[in-house]
Amino acid sequence: MNKPVAGFSKLSKEEKINWIAKEYFSTPSEAIALLKNYWNTDEKIQKLHDEFIENTITNFYIPLGVAPNFLINGKYSTIPMAIEESSVVAAASKSANYWSTRGGFKATVINTEKIGQVHFLYKGDLSKLQLFFAQNKAKFFSDTESITKNMQKRGGGILDIVLQDKTDLLPNYYQLHATFETKDSMGANFINSCLEQFAKTLKEESQHYALFSESEKEITVIMSILSNYVPNCTVRAEVSCPVNELAEKHILDPQDFAERFVQAVQIAEVEPFRAVTHNKGIMNGVDAVVLATGNDFRAVEAGIHAYAAKSGQYSSLSHATIENGIFTFWLEIPLALGTVGGLTTLHPLVKLSLEMLKNPSAKELMEVVAVAGLAQNFAALRSLTTTGIQDGHMKMHLNNILNQFGANEDERILIRKHFKHNTVSHSAVADYINNLRK
**How is the chain split into domains, by residue range?**
8-47, 64-109+235-387, 114-227, 392-437
DSSP state of 246: G
Q: Name 377's Cβ contacts closer than 8 Å, sequence gap at least 6.
A: 278, 281, 282, 285, 318, 331
pLDDT-derived band of residue 270, with 50, 70 and 90 as boundaries?
A: very high
Residue 14 bears catalytic tag:
no
Q: Give, in order, the Cα–Cα distances in Å from 169 to each of 65, 98, 115, 273.
A: 46, 49, 20, 29
Mean pLDDT of 381-398: 73
Q: Name 196's Cβ contacts closer than 8 Å, sequence gap at least 6.
A: 224
Phi-psi region of 34 (alpha: psi -120 to 50; beta: other; left: phi over 0): alpha
Q: CB-hemisphere CA count at 13 Å for 209? A: 24
Residue 160 burial (10 A CB sphere; 0-12, 13-18, 19+): exposed
C-alpha 175 chain-centroid distance: 27
Residue 168 bears catalytic tag:
no
Mean pLDDT of 100-124: 98
DSSP state of 10: G
Q: Of the candidates 85, 69, 92, which has an alpha carbon nearest to the alpha carbon of residue 400? A: 85
- Give the pLDDT of residue 284: 98
C-alpha 202 chain-centroid distance: 34
Mean pLDDT of 317-323: 98
3-state secondary structure of 143: coil
- Which pTM was predicted? 0.89
Whether residue 268 contacts residue 274, with contact meaning beta carbons closer than 8 Å, is answered with yes
Tens of pLDDT, residue by residue over 241-269, are: 999 999 998 899 999 999 999 999 999 99
Residue 280 bears catalytic tag:
yes
Catalytic residue, chosen from 50, 85, 218, 411, is 85
What burial letters (b/e) apply to 291-307, b meaning 16+ CB within 10 Å? bbbbbbbebbbebbbbb
3-state secondary structure of 165: strand
CATH of region 114-227, choose from 3.40.50.2000, 3.30.1300.10, 3.30.70.420, 3.40.718.10:
3.30.70.420
Mean pLDDT of 51-67: 96
Whether the predicted pLDDT of 436 surpasses 90: no
- Give the pLDDT of residue 44: 95
Q: How crowded is residue 33: how many other Cβ atoms within 10 Å of its Cβ? A: 11
Rg (CA), the chain: 27
Distance CA 256, CA 102 (A): 18
Q: How crowded is residue 280: how many other Cβ atoms within 10 Å of its Cβ? A: 15
Distance CA 4, CA 338 (A): 40
C-alpha 290 chain-centroid distance: 5
Tens of pLDDT, residue by residue over 150-168, are: 999 999 999 999 999 999 9
3-state secondary structure of 244: helix
List beta partners, residue 227: 115
Catalytic residue, chosen from 200, 280, 305, 395, is 280
Whether residue 8 contacts residue 23, with contact meaning beta carbons closer than 8 Å, is answered with no
DSSP state of 136: H
Distance CA 340, CA 374 (A): 25
- Give the pLDDT of residue 282: 98
- Give the pLDDT of residue 415: 83
Instruction: State the CATH class of domain 64-109+235-387.
Output: alpha beta
Catalytic residue, chosen from 114, 347, 393, 397, is 393
Q: Give, in order, the Cα–Cα distances in Å from 251 to each of 255, 327, 382, 385, 424.
A: 9, 14, 9, 10, 23
Distance CA 302, CA 293 (A): 18
pLDDT-derived band of residue 179, with 50, 70 and 90 as boundaries?
A: very high
Catalytic residue, chosen from 113, 196, 238, 296, is 296
pLDDT-derived band of residue 390, with 50, 70 and 90 as boundaries?
A: low
- Give the pLDDT of residue 388: 66
Q: Mean of the per-residue pLDDT values for the chain?
A: 94
